[in-house]
């Protein structure tokens, strides 16, 4: 496996470019994922977990990945400073229980904190 130098996505060795941002693989890029115990389904206890499944929103013209969005300055008329993240799913292969995960939770949380502070600075509404 290797880690994309542009977006940080972890890619399987057989690919020469990043599936997420199309950046080419740089020479010598290797990523060793630490051994983790297999996750267990919180509903049935199975270890048959499908990780990082893509979630698609089927629009009228094409498929798009499902995303979440946080506005850093929600009261602003323009330039709200949006932070976005693709969502991934973990799916139990036994019972079908599904959990959603944001790809970049730290960036979303930082945007959330900024939005909380910006509401304190917003002019009062009547």
Contact 23, 4 (CB under 8 A): yes
| Three state DSSP letters for the chain | CEECCCCCCEECCCCCECCCCCCECCCCCCCCCCCCCCCCCCCCCCCCEEEEEECEEECCCCEEECEEEEECCCCCCCCCCEEEEEEEEEEECCCCCEEEEECCHHHHHHHHHHHHHHHHHCCCCC
State yes or no: pLDDT of 122 exceeds 70: no
Q: How far apart are CA 107 and CA 111, in angstroms?
A: 6
Residue of higher predicted confidence among 3 and 33: 3
Question: What count of residues does the chain have?
Answer: 126
φ and ψ at residue 125, rounded to 5 degrees: -100, 150
14-67 tens-digit pLDDT: 788 888 888 888 866 666 655 667 789 999 999 999 988 988 887 766 777 888
Nearest C-alpha neighbor of 103 from the set 23, 39, 14, 20: 20
Q: What pLDDT score does 102 carry?
A: 92
**Model confidence band, residue 13 (pLDDT cutoffs 50, 70, 90):** confident
**Model confidence band, residue 12 (pLDDT cutoffs 50, 70, 90):** confident
State yes or no: pLDDT of 120 exceeds 60: no
60-103 tens-digit pLDDT: 667 778 889 999 988 888 888 999 999 999 999 999 999 999 98
* pTM recorded for the entire structure: 0.57
């Amino acid at each position: 496996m290797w880690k994309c130098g542009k977006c940080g996505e972890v890619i399987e060795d057989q690919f020469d470019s990043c599936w997420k941002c199309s950046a080419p693989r740089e020479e010598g890029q290797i990523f060793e994922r630490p051994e983790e115990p297999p996750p267990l389904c919180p509903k049935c206890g199975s270890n048959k977990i499908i990780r990082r499944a893509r979630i698609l929103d089927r629009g009228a013209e094409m498929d798009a990945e499902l995303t979440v969005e946080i506005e850093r300055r929600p009261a602003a008329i323009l330039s709200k400073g949006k932070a976005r993240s693709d969502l991934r799913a973990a799916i139990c292969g036994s019972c079908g229980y599904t959990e959603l995960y944001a790809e970049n939770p730290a960036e979303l949380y930082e945007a959330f904190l900024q939005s909380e502070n910006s509401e304190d600075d917003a002019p009062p509404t009547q």
